[in-house]
Amino acid sequence: MTDESWEIQMKIIMLGAPGAGKGTQAKMIAEKYSIPHISTGDIFRANISQGTELGMEAKKFMDQGLLVPDELTVKILLDRVAKEDCKNGYVLDGFPRTIPQAEVLDKALTELGDKVDYAINVDVPDESIITRMSGRRACVKCGATYHVKYNAPKAEDVCDACGEGLVLRDDDHPETVTKRLNVYHDQTQPLIEYYSKKDILKAVDGTVDMKDVFGAIVAILGE
Ligand code: ADP
Ligand code: ADP
Ligand code: ZN
């Protein structure tokens, strides 16, 4: 056995409604534990801005607040986690979003003698989601996310990280957010029970200040 096999492995899934704060927390986790942050939404948006075939296909669903079909999503995710930088773990943000996606991931990991270590549910009630989403501002260039009130950029509508202009995502307008919340309850929420049965579900209150949400997560994952 080489020394490498003793390295700490951390494979984390972020669960929660759209706008619950999964991305915000996943970025902080990635930084603290030195593992990659993998967001299927970011991968789709990068493909849309590059005008790839995958992007064009995904956009049809995203614009309507619907999920991108499992076949397409699963392939992208499995390719991504097979990359070298994922060997010590990763934090998945926005995947899985359906039971079949979770099953494919479990099967792929089982074949490698591996498993998901934590499924962290960031819990925020529907009432708070619409307000949060209408204030979210995103950088299409680097993927950074802000909030006009809770996490404002230094200069209005300019990304602190890369200087690009910030936008309100097309799918963050209230009509689409309501649709995405329904899709979440129908297709994604069942994952809470799925991971609870596997004994790896951890819930945190997502309504408190983002630093306190992170504190609760660190208490679970360890310093
Ligand atoms: P998700 O990835 O779950 O869709 P985000 O991390 O993008 O959610 O957060 C949604 C919006 O809410 C963003 O504008 C973000 O800055 C803001 N936000 C995230 N966490 C909190 C929090 N604990 N309190 C207030 N606003 C938050
Ligand atoms: P949010 O952070 O607000 O939850 P995401 O950036 O994760 O939003 O996702 C935006 C959109 O991308 C989703 O509404 C969906 O159309 C698509 N998408 C992202 N991840 C997945 C996935 N795992 N399965 C299917 N569709 C996905
Ligand atoms: Zn940026």
CATH number, position 43: 3.40.50.300
The four Cα atoms 20, 23, 24, 27 give a dihedral, to 10 degrees, of: 150
Amino acid at 196: S
Centre of ligand 2 to C-alpha 95, Å, is 8
Q: Model-level pTM?
A: 0.95
Q: Please state the rounded mean pLDDT for residues 32-54.
A: 95
Residue 19 lies in a domain: yes
Q: Which residues line ligand 1 (CB under 6 A)?
A: 16, 18-24, 132, 135-136, 145-147, 150-151, 206, 209-210, 213
Q: Is the pLDDT of residue 95 over 90?
A: yes
Residue 55 lies in a domain: yes
Q: Whose CA is nearest to atom 18 of ligand 2?
A: 41
Q: Which ligand is nearest to the CA of 132?
A: 1
Residue 39 lies in a domain: yes
Residue 148 lies in a domain: no
For 23, the domain range is 10-125+185-221
Catalytic positions are 22, 97, 136, 169, 180
Least confident of 28-37, 89-98, 131-140: 131-140
Residue 118 lies in a domain: yes
Residue 21 lies in a domain: yes
Query: What pLDDT, in 10s, does the model give residues 175-197?
Result: 999 999 999 999 999 999 999 99
CB of 35 within 8 A of CB of 102? no
Substitution site in 44, 60, 134, 137 for ligand 2 pocket (most atoms within 8 Å of beta carbon) = 44
CB of 55 within 8 A of CB of 61? no
Q: Is the pLDDT of residue 90 over 60?
A: yes
Domain count, the chain: 1
* 161 CB neighbour count, 10 Å cutoff: 12
Q: Which residues line ligand 2 (CB under 6 A)?
A: 18-19, 22-23, 39-41, 44, 61-62, 66-68, 73, 94-97, 101, 171, 180
Substitution site in 59, 62, 172 for ligand 2 pocket (most atoms within 8 Å of beta carbon) = 62
